[in-house]
Amino acid sequence: MGSKRYYSQAVIDEVRNRADIVQVISEYLTLRPAGQNFKALCPFHKEKTPSFMVSPTRQMFRCFGCGEGGNVFTFLMKIDGLTFGQAVRTLARRYGVPLRTEDGEKIDKTARLRQTLLDLNRKVAAHFQRNLIDREAGSKALEYLKGRGVSDDAIRTFGIGYARESWDDVCGHFGKRASDLALLETLGLASKGKQGNYYDRFRGRIIFPIVDIAGNVRGFGGRVLGGVKEEGGKTKEEGAKYLNSPESLVYHKSRTLYGLHQAREAVRSEGFVVLVEGYMDVIALFEAGIRNVVATCGTALTPQQCALIKRYTERPVVFFDADRAGTSASLRSFDVFSREGLRPRVFKAPGEDDPDDYVKRVGGGELMESLRQAPAFPEFLIKETLQKFDVGTVDGKLAVLKEVLPSLSRLTLVERNHYVRMLADELSVDQEIVFAELHRLSGRSKVGEEIKALKERQFLAEERDLVRLIVTDEEALRIACESVDPGLITSEFLRELVEECFSAFRSGKEVTLSGLLDKFEGEAQRSFISQLAFCESVIDGSGFSRLVDKLRRNALARRAHEMHEEYLSRIQGGDTAGGSELEREFVELKRSAVVD
């Protein structure tokens, strides 16, 4: 089920009911009538024939090409990369719905402070940009950027600016009152001296505004050009090559990807995202025509950044510096990606070039082709690890296995099989030996869980058909409320979906697919619900009864199997009395159902 929402359910329902999905989507796509629905070219994948459908009656959309689907909130989250709360706020403002929290209060002081800080960041960013184009103040910075190959177009696109070599440029313009100076300090734009005076924190630096997906300036990164010195020499901050905004109410670097605002459309069209480490790497690739590129904002890759990537693509290509530190960071990224269900590829430039240098040497066309052909992470890991050890020795082979196998153990069965064979060939050892080591490392539990999942899928077909009827047919829902025990359903998601329908029906509330969609956050769950909006039931009343009967028989069969396994376990353990009791229960159960 979905996590707790900041806004009350009543507000969410009102926003959803007032919003017209056809009207909202038509602002992004050209919709054409298709019977009772509308169709368009899908914005989430490349296609020549429209397969993107919008249902005005059910207020849902679905692409039958790539499988994306949902309601009006989902569409805004997908197309603009918004969170659920941001989508609610966007539509609430448009349709005039007052926003209230779950406690029934209007948006609190924190939200107002957040907006004040964002407005201040925006004004300061514009000030930095004016500094850059100022012939007197920004000439040195502009000369540096031009020398690095940064065009006027890139300067405008990324909002690049310049912080003057001054102690009070920002504080003087935006700190007229004590409260204003406190806000600047909160944002990391000003620092407070020992005597209580405030001074500019960014001085003599190229400024890179860090913008979120909605275009809000969240923070800043500053690259030093030299300049103002503290009395007695440079401070630690003054001497740092890069200086970044600190964590604040509006900026969390672990949740931010530099350049995503500019890259999102290219990521969708190319089908993958290039992940680099620095601001200048992003801009260099952008200048070379590679627009689907983002950076990690000077932090190790985080789960939140992976989740942000997953809104747009499941195909990240890691392109970090080719030195030892960059290679180590590339290798560490796999665990983070895999936990978020992403399968990264890795490109490493020859030599020790960083992305900025490499793209200038080979050009955007050649680099883009290399990125498209980048090896999957396990292959990259195997090749990198083989170079570290002498695989002609037993110790070398063991060292390679020790480094590689933990990552392989997190792959699917098919992937493991493929890369174990590759690793065995490279080490010149029998595949069975590598499989045995992997099996010993990962244990039986994961394999057993996967096999169990495969066996359980036989029950899901009937469950999906029954749930499809319950959530789309009001009469079937009424009958099911009286005759179907949700506990018979093995799928946790389908069971929760049915329980949600039963609860709403018994409370006299209308059950809608669009409303159900907001209760669940999993991609597979949302895809299933959105698909229902375009399904017409072909099962009559007798078919419904057969499905319910089959569901009950499946439940009895599962219980019989569990009892049989427990019976064998007790007999083998010497518990003959307990075994006899189970045998009697098993015989009684067989009278109730046909057990295969």
Does pTM top 0.95 for this prediction?
A: no
Say whether both 245 and 264 belong to one domain.
no
For the stretch 361-364, contacts whose Cβ atoms lie closer than 8 Å and that sit 24 or more positions apart, written own/partner, are 363/288, 364/285, 364/288, 364/289, 364/290
Task: Give the per-residue pLDDT at 39.
Answer: 93
Task: Give the per-residue pLDDT at 217.
Answer: 95
In a domain, 71, yes or no: yes
Kindly give the pairing relationship between strand 205-211 and strand 217-224.
antiparallel
Written as one letter, the residue type at 138 is G
Structural domain count of the chain = 5
Say whether both 582 and 470 belong to one domain.
yes
Task: Give the per-residue pLDDT at 105.
Answer: 52
Q: How many Cα atoms within 13 Å fall on the side-chain side of residue 43? A: 20
- Report how far apart, in Å, the C-alpha atoms of 235 and of each of 63, 78, 204, 238, 421 are: 56, 44, 14, 5, 54
Say whether both 120 and 231 belong to one domain.
yes
In a domain, 384, yes or no: no
Can you give the length of the chain in residues?
Answer: 596
CATH code of the domain containing 15: 3.90.580.10
Say whether both 73 and 127 belong to one domain.
no
Say whether both 293 and 354 belong to one domain.
yes
Q: Which residue, of 204, 225, 249, is where some domain finishes?
A: 249
In a domain, 383, yes or no: no
Residue 348 in tokens: 């490493």
Q: Is residue 258 a contact partner of residue 306, using CB atoms and an 8 Å limit?
A: no
- What DSSP string runs through 212-241? -TTS-EEEEEEEE-S----TTS--HHHH-S
Say whether both 344 and 398 belong to one domain.
no
In a domain, 463, yes or no: yes
In a domain, 426, yes or no: yes
In a domain, 305, yes or no: yes
Residue 69 in tokens: 């689907």
Q: Which residue, of 415, 434, 456, is where some domain finishes?
A: 456
Say whether both 245 and 113 belong to one domain.
yes
pLDDT tens series, the chain, 596 aa: 544 456 778 888 889 999 999 999 998 888 999 988 999 998 888 788 899 999 998 899 999 888 889 999 999 988 887 888 888 888 988 888 887 665 545 555 677 788 899 999 999 999 999 999 988 888 999 999 999 999 999 999 999 999 999 999 999 999 989 999 999 999 999 999 988 899 999 999 999 999 988 889 999 999 998 444 444 445 445 567 889 999 999 999 988 999 999 998 899 889 899 999 999 999 999 999 999 999 997 778 998 899 888 878 889 999 998 888 888 888 889 888 988 888 899 999 988 888 999 999 999 999 999 999 999 999 999 999 999 999 999 999 999 999 999 989 888 888 889 999 999 999 999 988 888 888 777 654 444 444 444 444 445 667 778 888 888 778 888 888 888 888 878 778 888 888 888 888 888 888 888 888 888 877 778 788 888 777 665 555 566 777 777 777 777 776 666 666 666 666 666 666 655 665 566 556 555 544 44
Residue 339 in tokens: 């936990």
226: left (phi over 0), alpha (psi -120 to 50) or beta: left
- What DSSP string runs through 301-345? --HHHHHHHHTT-S-EEE---SSHHHHHHHHHHHHHHHHTT---E
- Report how far apart, in Å, the C-alpha atoms of 110 and of each of 113, 168, 215 are: 5, 28, 20
Say whether both 24 and 53 belong to one domain.
yes
Pairwise CA distance, residues 412 & 116, whole Å = 47
In a domain, 255, yes or no: no
| Residues 6 or more apart whose Cβ sits within 8 Å of residue 58 | 512, 513, 514, 533
Containing structural domain, residue 192? 109-151+159-249
- Could you report how far apart the first and last alpha carbons of the chain are, in Å? 34
CATH code of the domain containing 175: 3.90.980.10
Say whether both 496 and 565 belong to one domain.
yes
| Residues 6 or more apart whose Cβ sits within 8 Å of residue 41 | 29, 30, 47, 48, 50, 52
CATH code of the domain containing 518: 1.10.860.10
Say whether both 80 and 90 belong to one domain.
yes
Say whether both 571 and 473 belong to one domain.
yes
| Residues 6 or more apart whose Cβ sits within 8 Å of residue 157 | 262, 286
Residue 228 in tokens: 């103002």
Q: Which residue, of 411, 441, 456, is where some domain finishes?
A: 456
Kindly give the pairing relationship between strand 205-211 and strand 161-163.
antiparallel
Using DSSP, state whether 163 is helix, strand or coil. strand
- What DSSP string runs through 367-432? HHHHHHTPPBHHHHHHHHHHTTS-TTSHHHHHHHHHHHHHHHTTS-HHHHHHHHHHHHHHHTS-HH
Residue 243 in tokens: 């200086």
In a domain, 49, yes or no: yes
Say whether both 69 and 188 belong to one domain.
no
